[in-house]
Amino acid sequence: MRRELVAALALTLTLAACGGAGTTTQSTSVTHSSSTPSSASASSSTASGTATSAASASPAHGPLPSNGTSFVYVPLWPFASVAAAEQWQREANPGGHQPWHLDAGQIAVMFASQYLNFTEINRVVRQTVTASDAHVTVGYTAGGTTGTAAVIHLVRIGSGAARPWEVVGTDDTATFSLTEPPYGSRVAGTIAVGGHIAGVDESIRVTARQLHGVVGGYCCLPAGASAPWSVPLRLTGTQPGPVTIVASTGGHLAVVERFTVTGVRSG
C-alpha cells in the first residue's frame, strides 16, 4: 500500500541521516516517574496510530501529507501539538523538568499503562532507537514468562536541541491490526473501526480517548480464527484535536495481552 511505502521510505531516510545506526536493547521493567502527565497538563497530550495490510508486520502509519506544519504525524501522547512540546522544552531548560519526556522506553510504557490504563503492561521488551525515531515493544509478565503486547512507534517532536519523544502509533502485525478508520482521518458520530485478527477465543474491546477522557467504547466482539473484524463505535463529547482509538484483546494470561492503536482527528 502507498502508506506502507511512504512509511518505509521515511524510515530509510531517517536511518540514512543517522548513519544507519540504531540502538537495540532488550527487556527491562520501567519505574514510573512520580511526575506524570495529568489531565491539566495535557492540553498537550493524547495517544497513537495504525493502518496497513494485516498480512505483514510493519509500521501501521507514515508521515501524512504536509499541511504546512512541522510535524507530519498525528501527535498522540504526551503532547497534542508541536507548540505544546516546545512549551515543555522552554519549561524544562534549565532544571530538567519531567525528564521522562526524553526517554522513549519510559514514554512507551507510560502510554500503555497510564494513558491507556493497561496497568499490567509495565516493561520494555526490546527497543530500536535512532536519533529521531523509535520502535518500542512493550509487554507484561505472567507465569514467569514475558509476553509482548504491542510495538509503539515514537518520533521526536518540538524544535532545536533536546526534543522530547511523542507516541504516533503502533506497528500492525499479521495477527492483530487496526486499519479502519484510516490513520490521520477526520471522524465524527458513529464510525466503523476494524482490522484483522488471528488467535483463539479472543474478545476485542475498542476504546476512543482524548486528553479529557474516554469519548467512545465498544465491548466486546468475539473473535477466533484468522479473519477481518469490525465494530461500530459511537463518539460522544469529543473536542477538536487528536483522538486515540485502541483495540485490545486478552484474558488468557493477562487482562490485555495484545493491543493496536490508530490516531485520527475530531473537529
Mean pLDDT of 215-241: 94
**Res 111: pLDDT:** 98
> Omega before 78 cis (within 30°)?
yes
Backbone angles phi, psi at 126, to 5 degrees: -165, 160
Set out the domains of the chain in order of their start, with CATH numbers.
2-65+72-266 (2.60.40.2550)
Bridge pairing between strands 186-187 and 258-266: parallel
Task: Return the bridge partners of 29, or none.
Answer: 123
Task: Return the bridge partners of 214, or none.
Answer: 209
What is the pTM for the complete model shown? 0.77
Percent helix, strand and coil across the chain, each to the nearest 5 = 15, 40, 45
Q: Please classify residue 20 by burial: count the beta carbons closer than 10 Å to its beta carbon, then call 0-12 exposed, 13-18 middle and 19+ buried.
A: exposed
**Res 26: pLDDT:** 59
Q: How far apart are CA 58 and CA 173, in angstroms?
A: 7
Q: How far apart are CA 6 and CA 216, in angstroms?
A: 30
Q: Please classify residue 2 by burial: count the beta carbons closer than 10 Å to its beta carbon, then call 0-12 exposed, 13-18 middle and 19+ buried.
A: exposed
**Res 122: pLDDT:** 94
For 75-97, the pLDDT digits (tens) are 999 999 999 999 999 888 766 67
Bridge pairing between strands 176-180 and 186-187: unpaired
**Res 65: pLDDT:** 52
CA torsion 108-110-112-117 (nearest 10°) is: -170
Backbone angles phi, psi at 210, to 5 degrees: -125, 175
Task: Return the bridge partners of 172, or none.
Answer: 58
Q: Which residue has the higher pLDDT, 152 or 143?
A: 152
For 23-72, the pLDDT digits (tens) are 565 555 543 332 233 322 332 333 333 333 333 344 556 666 544 456 89
CA–CA distances in Å: residue 261 to residues 159, 168, 178: 26, 9, 7
